[in-house]
A = this chain, B = another copy of it.
């Protein structure tokens, strides 16, 4: 007999019955509130073209490196999951159904993981699946999902409505023409506000493999010499304004360490020339990235874009996999990250500027209690980014709440950020966040630390008020 797949209505709540009751009631009070998603990786074109999702494997597996990495760690080659090699030479003729079977056979490997959580939620709540994935059930589940996907009611736009998403930010290249966003904004039938996000990493960090190319492209776009620092900086400011005009609310920055430096313009200019000429050494390249991160903060004060920083990830750790498949293949790995010293120049200048909002994310959870919460507990500009990437899972979020709240309270966080490529997982992720917040608050109520009425106010604020304030919505 096949094991049933069910969704416990009380999932993620504390096991103690009295505390669970409080958690359930707190959760119920926010369960159906609209979703605000200020940072993520949904393709705006998908919302514009509204295509049907082709099949379960394309939908859930092939493009999601959180899902493929689990199978890869279990010994499955990425080509066996339909992931194409860069040069196309090794692409296995693997059918979506075969990929799905491989996935279902490895279902126990997802138990307890972040991906396993939302996959189970989504399979049950979106697709009505009621048997646990396994070698035996794989085909049945595949067919059941495929039937739904063929239903016009399962296209992206219909889901966007059904998911009650009020605000959805995408992530975009600074030179993107934002045509898709313009079209979406012009469409009166779209009830969700879809906004672009300015993500300039390759344009400002010489350690980024795309730096030379990005600087060349923006110089061509602006019609100036590639090593003209003033024009380069003006062009970035121009592009930011263009994003603002198209509804952007934030600029996002992925860096290895959040170094910042306020360098006199003449020195910055000389440094830029060396960097563009390729004569800068490693230290100078890192220094230029620090100068530009400072510059981005200055521009944020001017144009109002919320500055979000996602540091601490060593990208493409396994060179052979990068060479074979390209980026985003599941071997980006966290590293110890620092905030207090690296951000000091930036915060000295802009930390108490009321126009400035800075959201600090981390994948190094030691920094929650040691650095990020103490900074956010003083600087009105600093917000604690919701647990991200490896930390976006129930226990990690509980640790996050316990680590930051005692220092910074409930009102210095960013609100929940799903940061997802998996469009279908958005409701499950926001639901998880609401359940964990309810669980955490219920414990504080049970321990006599927060009154029941205050807990009700706080959970509502966490879902409905805080993200709007932080992201200036």
Q: Indicate if the CB atoms of B347 and A340 lie closer than 8 Å.
A: no
Please report the C-alpha to C-alpha distance between residue A68 and residue B382 in the assembled complex, in whole angstroms.
16
| A412 lies within 8 A of B73 (CB) | yes
The residue among A351, A379, A382, A447 with the most chain B CB atoms within 10 A of its own CB is A447
- Which residues of chain A from 442 to 459 have a CB within 8 Å of any chain B CB? 443-444, 446-451, 453-454, 457-458
Say whether A144 faces chain B, with CB atoms less than 8 Å apart: no
Please report which residues of chain A, range 1-48, place their CB below 8 angstroms from some CB of chain B when the two chains form the complex.
3-8, 10-19
Closest to A75 in B: B380
| Closest-CB distance, A465 to chain B (whole angstroms) | 11
Set B14, B72, B333: member contacting A340, Cβ < 8 A: B333
Indicate if the CB atoms of B14 and A113 lie closer than 8 Å.
no
Residue pair B8, A75 in contact (C-beta under 8 Å): no
Question: For the complex, is A374 an interface residue (Cβ under 8 Å from B)?
Answer: yes
A391 at the binding interface (Cβ < 8 Å): yes
Which of B113, B363, B376, B453 contacts A405 (CB under 8 A)? B113
Q: Which of A6, A10, A330, A454 has the most CB of B within 10 A?
A: A454
Given contacts A10-B448, A11-B448, A15-B16, are A331 and B112 in contact (CB under 8 A)? no
A410 located at the interface, meaning its Cβ lies under 8 Å from any Cβ of chain B in the complex: yes
Inter-subunit contact A454/B111 (CB<8 Å): yes
Closest to A406 in B: B393
Query: Which residues in B have their C-beta under 8 angstroms from that of A132?
Result: 451, 453-454
Contact of A396 among B114, B369, B377, B396 (CB under 8 A): B369
A341 touches B335 (CB 8 A): yes
Interface centre among A12, A364, A370 (most CB of B within 10 A): A370
- Tell me, rounded to whole Å, the shortest Cβ–Cβ distance linking A19 to chain B: 5
A273 beta carbon closer than 8 Å to chain B? no
A73's contact among B344, B348, B378, by CB below 8 Å, is which?
Answer: B378
Known: A333-B375, A340-B314. A112 touches B390 (CB 8 A): no
Cβ contact within 8 Å between B314 and A341: yes
Q: Does A125 contact B (CB under 8 A)?
A: no
Q: Are B108 and A411 in contact (CB under 8 A)?
A: yes
Residue of A5, A319, A458 with most chain B CB atoms under a 10 A cut-off = A319
Contact of A112 with B318 in the complex, beta carbons under 8 Å: no
With A112-B409, A336-B338, A363-B370 known as contacts, the answer to whether A14 contacts B12 (CB < 8 A) is no
Chain B CB within 8 A of A371 CB: yes
Residue of B with least CB distance to A398? B402
A75 to B378 CA separation, bound complex (whole angstroms): 9
Contact A112 B378 (CB under 8 A): no
- Find out whether the CB atom of B15 lies under 8 angstroms from the CB atom of A378: no
Docked complex Cα distance between A461 and B10 (Å): 27
Interface presence of A366 (CB below 8 A): yes
A285 to B366, CA, bound (A): 29
B320 touches A340 (CB 8 A): no
Judge whether B335 and A108 touch: CB under 8 Å.
no
Listed by A's residue number, 5 A-B pairs whose Cβ atoms lie within 8 Å are A15-B18, A109-B410, A111-B450, A314-B340, A334-B371
Q: Residues of A with Cβ closer than 8 Å to B?
A: 3-8, 10-19, 69-70, 72-75, 108-114, 116-117, 132, 314, 317-321, 330-331, 333-336, 338, 340-341, 344, 347-348, 351-352, 354, 363-366, 369-371, 373-380, 382, 390-391, 393-396, 399, 402-403, 405-412, 443-444, 446-451, 453-454, 457-458, 461
Ranked 3 nearest A-B pairs via Cβ: A8-B448, A11-B448, A393-B406
